[in-house]
């Protein structure tokens, strides 16, 4: 994967291409903060933006897209249906709301945000309808464990293209990654930097020093070399640019293994099996 660049893409199981690298906007304030960070990222060469109904900043993301000057078809926009809309069976309505807030004609990827017990299969049927309508180029899931995916795949007409999960060197999810690979589902990491908890890790600092890179850059490079789509969040211009500057070095197999060995199954976000839906 040494020939990768910032706009390199993974091919999803339905043939749609998705950038390996993007900007996440969780907890980025609606209004100026989200508009400026998205515009900065696009200007720096990012082409993938990941938002969600829950984040409350879809309008700002949409405004930034319009003001960026980059043609819509060059961008890859992801949003997600929130849990309460699964409960009420309002998936189609929730999608239209997101689309209107974004000010777009279509979304590139629409995800089921969490596997709400006894609801996600019904939600998936609605997602399949949206996909058939052409208003979504790809549909997928987020925070699904192997057993959720097995349950979903038993009845699904459309295999999810993506499973976006908490994934970083302290929670590298090897079994889930293998399951997704075996089933043609692209794995995507949220909180790839472990919400900042990995930035002082001595192993990562050592590897970073060898390459003259930051710890964040080493982790994001590890994602890419593992075939993981990654969407680090930042609102700081210098950090947005630095995070993407990971295409001029390569981690050795030994370095990759040292990072793999940091796995401790440590979750810093919510647990999909014990989540207060």
Instruction: Show which residues are catalytic.
Output: 55
Cα distance between residue 127 and residue 125, in whole Å: 5
How far apart are the C-alpha atoms of 269 and 241, rounded to whole Å? Answer: 25
> What are the tokens at 18?
């998705």
- How far, rounded to the nearest angstrom, does the alpha carbon of residue 191 sit from its chain's CA centroid? 9
Query: CA 141 to CA 233: how far, in whole Å?
Result: 19
In terms of Cα–Cα distance, which of 9, 29, 175 is closest to 108? 9
17, 9 in Cβ contact below 8 A?
yes
What is the rounded CA–CA span in Å between residue 116 and residue 123? 9
- Cα separation, 5 vs 224, in Å, equals 10
CA 174/CA 186 separation, integer angstroms:
13
């Amino acid at each position: 994967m040494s020939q990768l660049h910032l706009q390199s893409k993974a091919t999803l199981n339905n043939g749609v291409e998705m950038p390996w690298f993007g900007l996440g906007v969780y907890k980025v304030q609606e209004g100026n903060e989200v508009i400026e960070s998205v515009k900065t990222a696009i200007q720096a060469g990012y082409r993938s933006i990941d938002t969600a109904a829950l984040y409350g900043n879809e309008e700002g993301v949409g405004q930034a897209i319009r003001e960026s000057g980059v043609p819509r078809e060059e961008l890859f926009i992801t949003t997600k249906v929130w849990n309460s809309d699964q409960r009420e069976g309002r998936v189609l309505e929730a999608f239209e709301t997101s689309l209107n807030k974004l000010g777009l004609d279509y979304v590139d990827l629409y995800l089921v945000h969490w596997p709400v017990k006894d609801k996600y299969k019904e939600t998936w049927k609605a997602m399949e309808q949206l996909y058939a309508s052409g208003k979504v180029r790809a549909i997928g899931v987020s925070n699904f464990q192997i057993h959720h995916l097995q349950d979903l795949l038993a009845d699904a007409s459309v295999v999810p293209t993506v499973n976006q999960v908490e994934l970083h060197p302290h929670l590298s999810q090897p079994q889930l990654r293998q399951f997704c690979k075996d089933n043609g589902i692209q794995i995507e990491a949220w909180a790839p930097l472990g919400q900042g908890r990995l930035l002082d890790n001595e192993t990562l600092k050592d590897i970073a020093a060898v390459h003259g890179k930051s710890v964040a850059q080493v982790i994001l490079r590890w994602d890419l070399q593992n075939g993981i789509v990654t969407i680090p969040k930042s609102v700081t211009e210098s950090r947005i640019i630095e995070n993407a500057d990971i295409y001029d070095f390569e981690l050795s197999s030994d370095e990759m293994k040292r990072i793999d060995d940091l796995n401790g199954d440590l979750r810093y976000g919510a647990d999909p099996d014990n989540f207060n839906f």
